[in-house]
Amino acid sequence: MAEPDTTTDAAEVVYSGALRRIQRCMGILAVALPIVAWFSFGGRTAIGLACGCLVALFNFVWLKRGVEALADRVVGAGKAQSGKGIVARFLLRYVLMGLAAYGILTVSPASLYGLLAGLFLPVAAIACEAAYEVYVALARGL
């Protein structure tokens, strides 16, 4: 009788939690980075960075919800949502980002660089997740 492949199961367990870990990492970075920026670059940059992180966080959550709704619609599972609603929510993210950038730019141009840096929060979180997965793969031999 063949033994169950425990390595594949363990790998699936690690990879299935990737999205949750990325969101958690984004939350931690959204708090930590503005604090570091406050002491390093000043208050305005830190506020801009915090706004950018917040927008990126909402953007990522809405992106996730949009993709989930799309998958529900394709598979035919879950509550049926209108295609127009999914597309409208998808586009609403860009409106939010544009409004935040415009607001920051009109209030304080100095914090614009902080806002732009904050928008890269998902990239930083994905990089952290990639590093974590490399570590897990090397440490556990997955």
Partner 1 sequence: MRKLSYVFMILSALCLAVPAFAQAGQASTVNWVAITSGFAMAIASAVCGMAQAKATAAAAEGLARNPSARPGIQLALILGLALIESLALYTLVIIFAKVK
Q: How many residues bind partner 1 (CB under 8 A)?
A: 24
Within 8 A by CB and 6+ apart from 83, the residues are 73
Sites for partner 1 among residues 5-34 (CB under 8 A) = 15-16, 18-19, 22
Tell me if 111 sits within 8 A of 52, measured CB to CB. no
**Neighbour-count burial of 37, counting CB atoms closer than 10 A to its CB (0-12 exposed, 13-18 middle, 19+ buried):** buried
Alpha carbons 92 and 61: distance in angstroms, whole number: 13
Alpha carbons 133 and 72: distance in angstroms, whole number: 28
* Piece in contact with partner 1 (CB under 8 A), picked from 1-9, 33-41, 58-66, 134-142: 58-66
Min separation Cβ 11 and partner 1, Å = 12
* Residue closer to partner 1, measured from CB, 1 or 84: 84
142 makes contact with partner 1 (CB under 8 A): no
Phi-psi region of 45 (alpha: psi -120 to 50; beta: other; left: phi over 0): alpha
Sites for partner 1 among residues 68-127 (CB under 8 A) = 68, 70-71, 74-75, 77, 112-113, 116, 119-120, 122-123, 126
Token digits of residue 114: 């902080």
Min separation Cβ 23 and partner 1, Å = 10
Residues that bind partner 1 (CB under 8 A): 15-16, 18-19, 22, 59-60, 63-64, 67-68, 70-71, 74-75, 77, 112-113, 116, 119-120, 122-123, 126
